[in-house]
Amino acid sequence: MKAKLLLTSVLMGVLMTSCYTEVIVEDEYIDEPVYNTSQVLHAYDLWYVDINATRGNGEVPFLQRAFTISFDRGTLYANNNIVGIGKTGNGFGIDVGFYDTVRGAVEIDHDVDGQWFLDVFAVNGNTIELYDARSDTSYFLKGYQVGNFDYDMVFYDNINYFLQEYDAWEKTYTSLEGALNEFDNENFLQFNPGYFRSSIDAPGTRLVDLQWDFEGNYSVYDIENDETLKTLTLDYRLSSNDYFELYVINDSTIELYHPRSKTVYEFRGRGYQQYLKAGKGAVEKKRKKTSNPIMKVKRSRDI
Residue 288: what pLDDT? 76
Residue 303: what pLDDT? 62
Q: Residue 170 and residue 267: Cα distance in Å, rounded?
A: 5
What are 44-65's pLDDT values in tens digits? 999 999 999 999 999 999 999 9
220 alpha-carbon distance from chain centroid: 15
> pTM of this prediction?
0.79
What are 78-108's pLDDT values in tens digits? 999 988 888 889 889 999 999 999 989 999 9
Query: Average per-residue pLDDT in the chain?
Result: 84
Distances (CA, A) of 16 to 11, 119, 122: 10, 17, 12
CA dihedral sign of residues 57, 70, 228, 214: positive
Least confident of 168-177, 212-221, 239-248: 239-248
Residue 226: what pLDDT? 85
Contacts of 117 (CB under 8 A, 6+ apart): 105, 106, 107, 108, 133
Residue 286: what pLDDT? 76
Residue 10: what pLDDT? 39
Q: Residue 120 and residue 117: Cα distance in Å, rounded?
A: 10
* Main-chain phi, psi angles of 285, to 5 degrees: -90, 110
- The domains of the chain, with CATH numbers, are 37-149 (2.40.128), 155-295 (2.40.128)
Q: What type of residue is 116?
A: W
Q: Check residues 261 and 15 and name the one with the higher pLDDT.
A: 261
Strands 214-223, 294-295: pairing kind: parallel
